[in-house]
Structure 1
Amino acid sequence: MTRNLSIFTLLLFLFSCNSEEKKQKEELQSIYNEVIDIHDEAMPRMGTIVRYQSEIQKLLKDSTSSEEQHAQFRQVNVALLKSEKAMMEWMHHLNTQYDTLDYQEARQYLLEEKNNISAINKMMAEAQEEAKNIIP
Structure 2
Amino acid sequence: MKKVIYMLATVIMVACNASPQENQSQSNLEESSKDALFNEVMAIHDEVMPEMGRIFRLQKALKQVIDSLETQKVSASISVDSLKNIQADLKEADDAMMNWMRSNDFQFENMEEEEIMQELASEKEKIIVVKDKMLNSIEQAEKVLQKFEQP
Fold conserved (TM > 0.5)? Answer: yes
| Deviations 1:52-79, CA, capped at 9 Å, x for gaps | 0011111121123448521111100110
User: Letter of the aligned partner of 1:132 in structure 2?
Assistant: E
2-structure distance, mates of 1:8, 1:125: 57
Cα deviation code 1:78-119 (max 9, x no counterpart): 100000000000011113223542110000111111111111
- Cα distance, 1:8 vs. partner? 1.3
- Structure 1 counterpart of 2:21, from 15, 25, 33: 15
Counterpart of 1:127 in structure 2 is: 137
Gaps of 5+ in 1: none
* Mapped pair 1:104 → 2:110: no
CA separation in 1, counterparts of 2:24 and 2:34?
A: 15
The one of 114, 119, 129 equivalent to 2:124 is 114
Q: TM-score normalised to the size of structure 2?
A: 0.84
**Offset of 1:23 from its aligned partner?**
0.5
User: How many residues of Structure 1 are paired with residues of Structure 2 in the alignment?
Assistant: 136
Q: Which protein shows a greater Rg?
A: 2
Structure-2 change in CA distance of 1:42 and 1:53 (3 Å): same
TM-score (norm. length: structure 1): 0.93
Picking from 45, 54, 59, the partner of 2:60 is 54
| 3-state SS, counterpart of residue 49 of structure 2 | helix
User: Percent sequence identity over matched residues?
Assistant: 24
One-letter amino acid of the counterpart of residue 120, structure 1: V
CA RMSD of aligned residues (A): 1.5
